[in-house]
Chains A and B, each alone.
Chain A
Amino acid sequence: MEQAKALLGLLLLVPALAAEPLRDSLREELLLSPLPSGDLAATFQFRTRWDSDLQREGVSHYRLFPKALGQLISKYSVRELHLSLTQGFWRTRSWGQPYLQAPAGAELWVWFQDSVADVDKAWKDLSNILSGIFCASLNFIDSTNTVTPTASFKPLGLANATDHHFLRYAVLPREVVCTENLTPWKKLLPCSSKAGLAVLLKAERLFHSSYHSQAVHIRPICRDGACLTSSWELRQTLTVVFDSFATGQGKKDWSLFKIFSRTLTEACPLASQSKIYVDISSKGQENELLEVTPAPQSVHEASVQGNRRTYAVYDLLDPGLFNVSRSLNVQLKWKRPQDSLDLAAPVLHAQRYVSGYGLQTGEISTLVYNTHPYRAFPVLLLETVPWYLRLYIHTLTIITKGKENKPSYIHYQPAQDRRRPHLLEMLIQLPANSVTKITIQFERALLKWTEYTPDPNHGFYVSPSVLSALVPSIIAMKEEDEELSPLFASLFPSSDGSSYFVRLYTEPLLVNLPTPDFSMPYNVICLTCTVVAVCYGSFYNLLTRTFHVEEPSRGGLAKRLANIIRKMRGVPPL
């Protein structure tokens, strides 16, 4: 009886425990947007929010938030962490402004708490641990590719003070992203890839694409409107661009099954929100350009990046969705062949290339376009160039519309050989409807033979330059509550309704350096030492010996032997 009572008490206790408000929540979201070029971009976002202070409280119980990352944050006093692993390059000109672009390769930037005494050591340890967690070569991050930008990378989350000494930024443009990076990333998800949107994340399809970028963003956010306490937010994003021409046999129609070879059957049971957005906004007046099936449950209108957009929304948590058929396979059909020529260039885009011939000098040129018809705006440009390309800052020219454009802010940190890279940050005003050309000359260094990467004639990568700008929007945007708006629109804080924040990355560069002959070390050491010895020998001779008149000698051994034989033969000696 007593036992039964205890059992009853226990049973009563369980709902009581569950009734306590959950301190963490998960939202998952998939955005499918047809790109102007006809390709399809899929952006997954998984947001885990945790109302707890990881640093203060000795947290040991983790529910949705991955323990590996939580411990990392508290151990290294991380304030913000942004890591992205990308394969391919987002073509801004033909794909339009990205929601969240990342540079090719690996990018890591971290804000540490003010309490960290040795930021460099914490950075080194952190990158090594992340390297282990994500199976990426982040352990190659060292002082030669780490910089401390002063203005380009502001904290995205809550931050009181922004002393840039606690920021570290590094890009590894050579990093190749593949399945082994995707698997640990998927494991961080509460439902892993067992249920919910993550079911679609099949490596075989994701890497058969033109652009693949996976990222982890950790930042503190406001717990509520009053913003007295902070919560932690982990945002895992994955953007893929599928080449619909290649996969769809020349047709631009697509369906979930066609692109991911899976369909959705349920939402992640742990998620509090699970939605699919399909961008169905059409340019111009013809509304009946495309058709999505099944019919969307609702339509969401939002102003994103200065444009008004319409999205068809499917809520996976809505029980009505799976009533009709057991699985959801969103399809999009174009009613008429759409002409892809009407793609308007994004307001801000940039390209970069290296010019010059030969292996002695060269020039890096960056072209920044502002296609806004009447608004000028400033852009922050960040260049990180490895030390072996010796930049000459006096050759920096910025030309807009044939005139010199003087940057209003310039921060330059010259490189130190084998210790740190060049860092150049500039705030440049871009006049309306203009192209700004930024050129800087460099000299290629000859390295020690052990400093070359394997296959040195492939070249050396230079990380992309980063453009950060508040781009004035063409239409007025209304402020939206962050908790209610879709995730893809809410990573960068928008300042006001008239402009939106954009961060763009240009192409990484591949630069050849002069190489020594790698098979020669022994020969070179021998030959050079021989020359030094020739000098030593001749000087030693002249310094230690004196001139003498050559006296007739008794001759060498050979002569004496010959004379003995001659004597025996009876002939006069030599």
Chain B
Amino acid sequence: MAAPLVLVLLVAVTVRAVLYRSSLAGLISERVEVASPLNAWKRVVEGLALLDLGVSPYSGDVFHETPLVIYLFHFLIDYAELVFMITDMLTAVALYLAIQDYNKVLFKKQKLLIELDKYAPDVAELIRTPMEMHYIPLKVALFYLLNPYTVMSCIAKSTCAINNTVIAFFILATIKGSAFLSAVFLALATYQSLYPLTLFAPALLYLLQRQFIPVKMKSKDFWFYTVQYAGLYLASLVVIVCLSFFLLNSWDFIPSVYGFILSVPDLTPNVGLFWYFFAEMFEHFSLFFVCVFQINVFFYTIPLAVKLKEHPIFFMFVQLAIISIFKSYPTVGDIALYMAFLPLWSHLYRFLRNIFILSCVLIVCSLLFPVLWHLWIYAGSANSNFYYAITLTFNVGQILLISDYFYAFLQREYYLTHGLYLTRKDGTEAMLVLK
């Protein structure tokens, strides 16, 4: 089992090593789709240069990394390429192990439900077999490592790769059932980019499920466990933030990192929805719309938690996708993380309604990004609207992809309990509708 993974890792390392040495590296690291103001490598180097000059890196508006990252690279600046390759490998291995474990859990649960006769009798073709589940972890690792988005992110040395590693470790710890490590990694991920805060809900649900604690408002165990997990999370967050304070001896990083994420002052184009919207916004509505747009990430968490109470990992996937669509400075690295989960839901494939069109949209948009960027910035023959239009289409594509997966997931759950071949009262074949 490990051999194919090693092979994938080797291929991924080779691809990255070759690209690092090629002339493409410089080109890719300048791409706005790959490097946002929040995680561009150029800005990390700038932060270190400022530190060397004796200026606080947070006194200007160029550096927005957390103090831990700057200290990490203070020592590892010469091995940056190696660091980014290793983080990518670690992410892949963590995802691989997590999915492997999750599949086992899933299979056991399926067996239990079959034994308990919870499934409808004619759903044999929906039941997942060990055969088809066997290669899923490998596919997830493969999808992450050889996804062009991840590769570009790694070549550009975007620190997004580090955030992804932290989130992958958080998922691994959660799936392995370690509440402590899960809380620590979640705190780290929150500290790094704020938005993973919303992953608290799926992680808690999964851990509760693992402990066989029912999610009931009146249950004492539920509250005890929740408070315990929240306490662990907050405690580690406080420790990390205080540690950062002691590293630089100032609180300057709070407004410079989190204030920067929340108030969106830098309107450099990226693949997200924020930049052009706020460039074109009327000044006195700006604050209102910043709030409206930021709330999108946090807004879906509670309803999703209610709806997907029984399926926390799918919840986590949807939440990751929402983060990567609605975060203020998204890059393709964020998209690569949730896309790595797509093989895990390969059993939903037959229920997806427009996967072909959406894949085409995403691919075409990805190819058009550099083209329209060139036309706007270098050739001068197009204007900002062209690039904006393509980011808009790209985001519509992502949104429809996620809702398509969500729809398919719910549909499959319905079929599993009600039978695959539904009939009407009069015996004719029935249609399934959302009501």
* Residues in chain A within 8 A of chain B (CB atoms): 357-361, 387, 390, 392-394, 410, 412-418, 422, 443, 445-450, 514-517, 520-521, 524-525, 527-528, 531-532, 534-535, 538-539, 541-552
Contacts and interface: CB of A to CB of B under 8 A. Distances in A.
A416 B56 CA distance: 13
A359 B276 contact: no
Contact of A550 (B32, B61, B385, B432): B432
Given A416-B61, A545-B435, A392 B30 contact: no
B310 interface: no
Contact of B50 (A358, A414, A527): A414
Interface string B382-398: 01110010001001100
B48 A394 contact: yes
Interface centre among B276, B376, B383, B392 (most CB of A within 10 A): B276
B12 to A, nearest CB: 29
Contact of A535 (B60, B325, B422, B424): B325
Nearest to B404: A538
B74 to A, nearest CB: 14
A415 B61 contact: yes
**Which 4 pairs show the lowest CB-CB distances between chains A and B?**
A414-B60, A394-B49, A538-B403, A550-B431
Given A514-B384, A528-B392, A531-B392, 15 more contacts: A390-B61, A393-B46, A394-B46, A412-B53, A415-B61, A448-B278, A449-B279, A514-B269, A542-B434, A545-B434, A547-B432, A547-B434, A549-B430, A550-B430, A551-B425
B130 interface: no
A354 B432 CA distance: 64
B280 interface: yes
B278 to A, nearest CB: 7
10 contacts: A416-B59, A416-B61, A418-B265, A446-B275, A514-B269, A517-B383, A524-B388, A532-B273, A539-B403, A547-B414
A448 B277 contact: no
- Using C-beta atoms within 8 Å of the partner chain, give the interface range for chain B: 35 or more
A520 B426 CA distance: 55
B433 interface: yes
B345 interface: no
Nearest to A387: B61
A535 B296 contact: yes
Q: DSSP class of B's interface residues: helix, strand, loop or mixed?
A: helix
A360 B30 contact: yes
B378 A357 contact: yes
A532 B49 contact: no
A445 B266 contact: yes
Contacts of B275: 446
B53 A516 contact: no
B116 to A, nearest CB: 22
B403 A548 contact: no
A515 B277 CA distance: 13
A549 B431 contact: yes
B237 to A, nearest CB: 27
B424 A551 contact: yes
B28 interface: no
B300 interface: yes
B406 A532 contact: no
B46 A524 contact: no
B399 A516 contact: no
Contact of A417 (B61, B279, B433): B61
